[in-house]
Chains A and B, each alone.
Chain A
């Protein structure tokens, strides 16, 4: 009995050791750039992986960390200090066959981009597949163009954007998209397009004054959460009778629009132009 327990423990130790040894084959790229100017353009063209974009501890420094296996991935980090442009490129061979398997060495790929708080940032992402987490609160996001083919993505503004956002364009093709605290983004006009899958858009936040968003939904389940202190107006274009929409009693229909109970009394306004596809749209008031 004792020997068998020891055998099992030995095998486990070997397995872990093997895994740890294997991870020694990974390559790591890590760069820190001090941003001298007032603006920063970030282009993240990343085929696959676990990608985290967030705020750096240093307000004037940008930190990029990539851990990958070189068998199928080619990575590059470029910073042009003349025009303050940062390019993070991950080119993955045959990315459609990438699997989100952390134990598969060939598929392992982690990217961390930490952005400084001082410069105004134009953030352009072109993601193909993977898990993407963007914690964009307390930064100066001037433009956000987020494009994602497949996977899971979470965009969160846990704290108010430090400046008014000029443009926000989110395109998500297939998978699960979770956008939290969008009211902190300080956007005035946004486009959110979702292809196939599940999407949650939460407009909570303290900084929403007057904003409009176009939401174009194709196939899947969508939940929109609206804070109850915002006067909200909805215009919903349905795709024939294939969309199922549930409105809370908080809304009253007048003409072609739905108005929240507090629309006339509120000093903060949100206007959502929603085009629904096939599936369920649920609108909730928080």
Chain B
């Protein structure tokens, strides 16, 4: 049993509610506070009307303003394209050497090249051009199969390696072992010789040297320096695209592996290829 009464301690009125002898003081909320609550409700309803909000079975309510996040993105992309166009035309008009010489243009190409690299190249060559051991060449060292100058890199990116593009890089290493050109002993001997080239101490006068001179020098060059025109890697270094060590040399001479790469000129525009060239050239091994 309770009635609205004055609480003697606080001097406040009670609400008339009582639970097991506990009474509730009435502390009225300012009315404007309630109005603020209603204002937020009205705001929410206005929001439903103005912006996309309600799902329907196959669609959603579009809202009076016709706003969409995709539309915002499209506007942003258009703005970005516009702001890029000045740079793009500058890049188009400049040679690779001019781009590298112009600090502002170089920075732009580096950023653009990095983005394009991560989108297109990193799948095989790895983030930052680290490569993949046994499969795809490392682009950060100074060993280049097809040349490491700006022009060489541009050519390789634009036309690729061993593909349908008539201008693609192409070469084929004979299957010295599988096709019976050399015997297993001869291959073992030449592998020993290549390992001595690795160690920068050519084993002169060995049987391997003779085999190397007869069969390998034509592509890999005197002393195994390599030849970028035919994509023949240098052999006087420990760096290998495929398996390394003596076993690796034996395997490659017996039944060689060949890498291949798409012709990016068919997929990317010339400006992007320019930026990619500058970026790849900067990764550390550019010549």
Q: Do A and B bind each other?
A: no
What is A's interface to B at a CB cutoff of 8 Å?
none
